Amino acid sequence: TPESGGSLTAFKYVDFDGSADYYQRTAGTNFDFSGTQSFTISAWVYQDSGTGTQCIFGNRESSPSHGYAFMIESGRLYMEMKGATAAPYVYGNYLKPGWTHVTATIAQPTTKIIVYKDGVNVVSAGSFTVTGNPTYDGDMTPSIGQNGNSSAGMFWNGKISQVCVWNKALTPSEVKAVY
């Protein structure tokens, strides 16, 4: 499990306070996935408080609501991908106390969303259609610990470590290997 401090080979984490702590990537298009692209997000998370909606990694706009976010909502894993008019999403099961490895994959062309907890598929939903591509603009910045737009919100309350994003949907065996 991740730790604070320690050697260079140890997991490192950031402790977010749930009010205004987050990291944003500089502007660019590397994380602007279209409604036809597959991708995967994974991270180690430790939630201090299980109330409300808290974002692990997001790149979305608040109005109109475009983009994607991997979150915890009322203690449950939640992944959504919003295009111009549709919002496929899936709820996973509840987090366990302590460190948990979480992964969400979106496989195209059917927008099949799969959520994993500690390397095990906990929920999947498929055959969604993202109607229209998300429109990524200056208000959206890929972010760890908040929803990824200029009106920052959905702050994470707890620790996050080793956030990884792939431009493909990892297979179940690849997810297990990352865990």
Mean pLDDT of 25-32: 72
Q: What is the mean pLDDT of residues 69-75?
A: 88
41-71 pLDDT per residue, tens: 999 999 998 778 899 998 887 666 678 889 9
Secondary structure string (H, E, C) spanning the chain: CCCCCCCCCCCCCEEEECCCCCEECCCCCCCCCCCCCCEEEEEEEEECCCCCEEEEEEEECCCCCCEEEEEEECCEEEEEEECCCCCCEEEEEECCCCCEEEEEEEECCCCEEEEEECCEEEEEECCCCCCCCCCCCCCECCEECCCCECCCCCCCEEEEEEEEEECCCCCHHHHHHHC
Higher pLDDT, 124 or 85: 124
